[in-house]
Structure 1
C-alpha cells in the first residue's frame, strides 16, 4: 500500500518564504542604489542603535538610584538618631552608583559647614549628570548628519542622472528621468529613516536624565539638611566616642595591671579615625 504525502498544507509556508525573499531582495537593492552615501547612513544607524541600547541599560532607575540605598536615604533622620551615621557613610561609599558617590561627598567629615558640603555636592552632581549624558552627543551627531548625507546622496544622484541624459541627448522618454530621480531620492529616505527614530530615543533619554537628576537633587537636599541638623561632623565624633566606651571582656591579668591611661579626647577623635571615601 503506497503512502501519499500531500504538500498542499505547506503552500502558505512556501508563499510566505517567497514574500520574505522578495522583500529582502528589495531592501538590498534599495541599500545598493544609494551608493557610498547609503553606506555612511548605514554606519550612522549602527552607531545610533548601539548607543541607544547602551544608554537605555545604563539609565535604568535601579542602576542610578538603587531602591535599597534610596530607602536608607529617606530614613536618614532615624539612622542618625540611632547612631548609625558611619554605617550609612560606608554604604554610600561602597555603592557604585551616582547617588552613592554624591551622598558620600555630602557626608564627608572634611566639610565643616553645610555650605561647604552643598558646594561640593553640587560640583559632584554636575559631574555625575555629565556622565549620565555620555553618548547623547553621538546621537545628536547622527540626528544632524544622517539627513544631510541623504540630501547629499540625492543631489549627487540627480547630477548623475542629468549628466547621463545630457550625454545621450534623448529626453523623449520621461520614465527614464523619473526612474533616475526616484533612485536618487532613496538616500533621502534612508537618512530620514535613521534620523527620526534617533530623535525619539534622544528625547526619551534626555527626559530620563532630567527625571533622575531631579530625584537625586531631592534626596541630596534631604540628606544634607538631616545630616547637619543632627550635628554633621559631630555625629562621627559621638559614634567614635561611644565605640570606645563599649565594655571589653575582663582578662584574668587585668588585676595585675595598673589603671588604664586616659587618652586625650582630641587625639582619640583625629581625622584619621573618621570615615573616608575610597573614591
Structure 2
C-alpha cells in the first residue's frame, strides 16, 4: 500500500507536466473561424466557387437596391413640402420660384413635379397621363438590382444541386474501383455534395428575403409618389389657368 502511494505521488507531477505541455499543442491544433470557412469552401470544388460568386452578386445587388430605395433620395421632405405649398404660390400669383426650386433638385419626385407644373398640357388628364408614363420609367430605373436578386434565388439552389450531383457521381465512381471502395474518397465526395447543398441554400434564403423586402419597399414608395403627384396636379390645375401656346 505504501509502495502504491509512493508511485502515485511520483506519477502525479509527471502527469500534470504532460498535461501542461499538451495544452498549448491542443490550442495550436484548434483551427480558427476563417480556416474553417476556407476548408468548407475549398472542399466544395469548382461549383462552390460559382456559389461564392452568386453570394457576392446578391450582396452587391442588395447594397445597390438599398442605396436607390431610400425615401430621402426618391422623395425628399423639402420637395414634398414645396409641392404641397402650391396654394400659397397661387396666392402670390407666381409659380416660377417653385419651378426653379424643382429644376435644381435631382430627385425623382422633383423631376415628376417639374413636368406636372410645367404648364405644357392643356388638361389635367393629359398631364396625368404624361406624368404616369414618366413615373413608370423612373420606377423601372429604380428596379435595377432587384431582378438580380430574383435570379440568385433560382440559380443558387440549382448550383447547390449541381454540386450535390457531382459529389454523388464521384462517390459512386469510388465504389466502382477495382481495388474496392476508398473510404477517404467516398467521405470527400459526400462532403462536397453536402457542402454545396448547404452553400446554395445559404445564398438563396437571404436572397429571397432581400428580394421580398425591396420589392415591397419599391411598391410602397411608388404609391406615395403617385399620391403626391395626384395632389400636385389637382392643386396646379385648380389654382392656375393653363393655356396651350398658339401654333
Coarse TM-score class (shorter-chain normalised): 0.7 to 0.9
2:113 is the alignment partner of 1:103: yes
Deviation string for 1:87-126 (max 9, x for gaps)? 1122222221111111111112221111110110110011
Residue in structure 2 matching 1:228, options 237, 242, 245: 237
2:139 is the alignment partner of 1:139: no
Aligned to 1:52: 62
Partners of 2:129 and 2:49 in 1: how far apart? Answer: 48
Aligned to 1:119: 129
Count how many residue pairs are aligned between Structure 1 and Structure 2. Answer: 222
Contact 2:65–2:145 under 8 Å retained in 1: yes
Greater share of residues in helix: 2
* TM-score using structure 2 length: 0.82
Contact 2:168–2:193 under 8 Å retained in 1: yes
Aligned to 1:166: 176
Partners of 1:80 and 1:38 in 2: how far apart? Answer: 64
Partners of 1:131 and 1:44 in 2: how far apart? Answer: 23
Structural mapping, 1:152-191, within 5 Å: 152-168=162-178, 170-171=180-181, 177=186, 180-191=189-200
Structural mapping, 1:242-253, within 5 Å: none
Partners of 1:20 and 1:110 in 2: how far apart? Answer: 73
Residue in structure 1 matching 2:35, options 25, 40, 57: 25
Q: CA deviation at 1:171?
A: 4.9
2:221 is the alignment partner of 1:212: yes
* TM-score using structure 1 length: 0.73
Structure 2 SS opposite 1:185: helix
Residue in structure 2 matching 1:196, options 205, 220, 239: 205
- Give the root-mean-square deviation of aligned CA atoms: 2.5
Aligned to 1:265: none
Partners of 1:232 and 1:215 in 2: how far apart? Answer: 27
Q: Where in structure 2 are there 5+ consecutive unaligned residues?
A: 1-23
